Chain A
Amino acid sequence: MVDQSAVGHRFTPVTAHVEPGRLRYFLDTLGDGNPVYRDAAAAKADGYAGVPVPPTYLFCLEMLDNQKPFEFLTALDIDLGRVLHGEQSFVYHAPVVVGDTLTFSPRVVSVVDKKGGAMTLIVVETAVTNQDGVHVADTARTIVVRNGSPS
């Protein structure tokens, strides 16, 4: 069981590069044909400094360049098969474009037991800054840990 001592725990910051090829693979996977994400000229014509990223892509960047993508599970001693994604949020403060290098700094902000301890909700907030030190976004994920015994 994850307890309150996890609150405040900071994970290793992740440095991620916004690469056009990986972005294109993400877009192809979702069947997203929006030219603003694929064509630098189209993006510039629309007033962007570069090719922007889709609304959920920050989550992928944090995983893709993470040396230990499941660090939050091993650090908190949680079995991978017992977790579900409960909630996810993004607040966007400044543009993120292809070519940027982002730093993700995640930390545990709350641990709450639900249903008499049958599940635990863990909230991890991540501040995202770019190569110029600009605070570009904040993300938050709620991880649901199923504490029941395996059948």
Chain B
Amino acid sequence: MTHTNNSPAVGDRVVHKQFLPISRHRLALYCGASGDHNPIHVDIDFAKASGFPDVFSHGMLVMGYLGQALSDAFPPDRIRAFSTRFAAITQVGAELTCEGTVAELFEVGGERRARLALTTKDQHGETKLAGEAVVAL
């Protein structure tokens, strides 16, 4: 966290983090880490039988990366809400970049808060997640 996050302005980019390509190994690890053992993320035979060309990432792994980028910038006890829409399937090999800008500044019960507009894009610029967070400043 940098102290500039205490008084950001609307439009400021306050969240930014890049991640290594998502490997098949990472998907297997995330099954165990999350308890989400849906075979569609690790078993190519199952994925094909379900109409997909390959296995693909858990949405929550991608949201987990975005959450990491968010809590690198704002400590977890200042995050009031966090939501995302899973805009597109995230393929094996995706190199994700997570970003967040200040969309709105407001106050609730005397607490200064910022609403952040969040995105996660792959190396081709395709939006995988679009979301928002509310953080206390």
Residues of A within 8 A of B (CB): 22, 25-26, 28-32, 34, 36-37, 46-48, 52-56, 59-60, 62-66, 69-70, 80-92, 95, 146, 150-151
Q: How distant is the Cα of A110 from the Cα of B52 in the complex, in angstroms?
A: 27
Given known contacts A31-B20, A63-B35, A56 and B60 CB-to-CB distance under 8 angstroms = yes
Residues of B within 8 A of A (CB): 19-20, 26, 29-30, 32-40, 46, 49-51, 58-61, 63-65, 67-68, 70-72, 75-77, 79-86, 89, 133
Residues in A whose Cβ lies below 8 Å from that of B33: 22, 25-26, 29-30, 60
Given known contacts A56-B63, A85-B60, A90 and B38 CB-to-CB distance under 8 angstroms = no
What residue of chain A has the Cβ atom nearest to residue B129's Cβ?
A88
Residues in A whose Cβ lies below 8 Å from that of B61: 30
Residues in B whose Cβ lies below 8 Å from that of A26: 33-34, 64
What residue of chain A has the Cβ atom nearest to residue B40's Cβ?
A81
Which one of B34, B72, B75, B80 has the greatest number of beta carbons of chain A within 10 Å? B34
A25 in contact with B83 (CB, 8 Å): no
20 contacts between A and B (CB under 8 A): A26-B34, A28-B29, A29-B26, A29-B29, A29-B30, A30-B65, A30-B68, A55-B67, A55-B82, A55-B133, A56-B63, A62-B35, A70-B38, A81-B51, A84-B86, A85-B60, A87-B83, A88-B83, A150-B49, A151-B51
